[in-house]
């Protein structure tokens, strides 16, 4: 009974926390600056109430978004774009820019993970080849008779020249794979 009550309370708290939103007001003050606040603006100010989700996005940095410029002309916008390409900007980045950067980082991380996985597979294959070549090399060095199967499926015992050729092959494989 006690654990079910605790479970109910925990679920209620989690659901309440998931739906947290806040009222945010945007207005222009007497100096012409745009203000944002959770406190209602003075009665003489022109304002717009907005609902804002206060939960941070998963893995998102706490970076303010840049407000769009209302008075920008086409010429000023072109100058700003050309300057932005040439020199780093001191202005905060827009949400679109942040999303693009986040997607690029995510894609780069996926590519790096994929390459690391492929490299790990290649390393494992090299280790297996090294182990097999080393074992085969040791078997060849013992001098015991070694038999192979030819194309027709018949068993054939290696003579000295074939053994020397197989030793050279095993050495080359060990040189390439055993690092």
> Which among 173, 118, 167, 111 is positioned nearest to 139, based on CA atoms?
167
pLDDT bracket for residue 71 (50, 70, 90): very low
Alpha-helical (H) ranges within the chain are 2-18, 74-86, 95-141, 160-177
Q: pTM for this structure?
A: 0.40
List Cβ<8 Å contacts ≥24 apart for 47-53. Answer: 49/23, 49/24, 49/25, 50/23, 50/24, 50/25, 50/26, 51/21, 51/22, 51/23, 51/24, 52/21, 52/22, 52/23, 52/24, 53/20, 53/21
> Which among 88, 42, 87, 90 is positioned nearest to 66, based on CA atoms?
90
Q: What's the pLDDT at 76?
A: 47
pLDDT bracket for residue 49 (50, 70, 90): low
- Residue 110, pLDDT > 90, answer yes
Question: CA–CA separation, 13 vs 55, rounded Å?
Answer: 15
* CA gyration radius, the chain: 35
Mean pLDDT of 52-63: 55
- Residue 8, pLDDT > 60, answer yes
Q: State the burial class of residue 140 (Cβ atoms within 10 Å of its Cβ: 0-12, 13-18, 19+).
A: buried
Mean pLDDT of 103-116: 94
78-93 in b/e form (b: 16+ CB < 10 A) is eeeeeeeeeeeeeeee
Question: CA–CA separation, 99 vs 60, rounded Å?
Answer: 10
Mean pLDDT of 94-107: 92
Least confident of 62-71, 91-100, 156-165: 62-71
Mean pLDDT of 4-30: 75
């Amino acid at each position: 009974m006690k654990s079910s009550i605790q479970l109910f309370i925990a679920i209620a708290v989690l659901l309440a926390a998931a739906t947290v939103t806040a009222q945010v007001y945007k207005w222009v003050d007497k100096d012409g600056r745009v203000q944002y606040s959770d406190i209602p603006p003075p009665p003489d100010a022109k304002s717009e109430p907005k609902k804002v989700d206060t939960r941070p996005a998963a893995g998102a940095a706490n970076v303010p978004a840049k407000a769009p410029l209302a008075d920008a002309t086409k010429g000023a916008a072109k100058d700003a774009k050309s300057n932005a390409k040439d020199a780093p900007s001191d202005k905060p980045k827009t949400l679109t820019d942040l999303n693009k950067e986040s997607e690029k980082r995510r894609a780069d991380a996926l590519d790096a993970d994929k390459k690391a996985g492929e490299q790990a597979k290649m390393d494992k294959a090299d280790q297996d080849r090294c182990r097999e070549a080393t074992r085969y090399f040791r078997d060849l060095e013992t001098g015991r008779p070694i038999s192979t199967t030819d194309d027709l499926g018949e068993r054939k015992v290696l003579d000295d020249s074939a053994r020397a050729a197989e030793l050279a092959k095993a050495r080359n494989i060990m040189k390439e794979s055993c690092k």
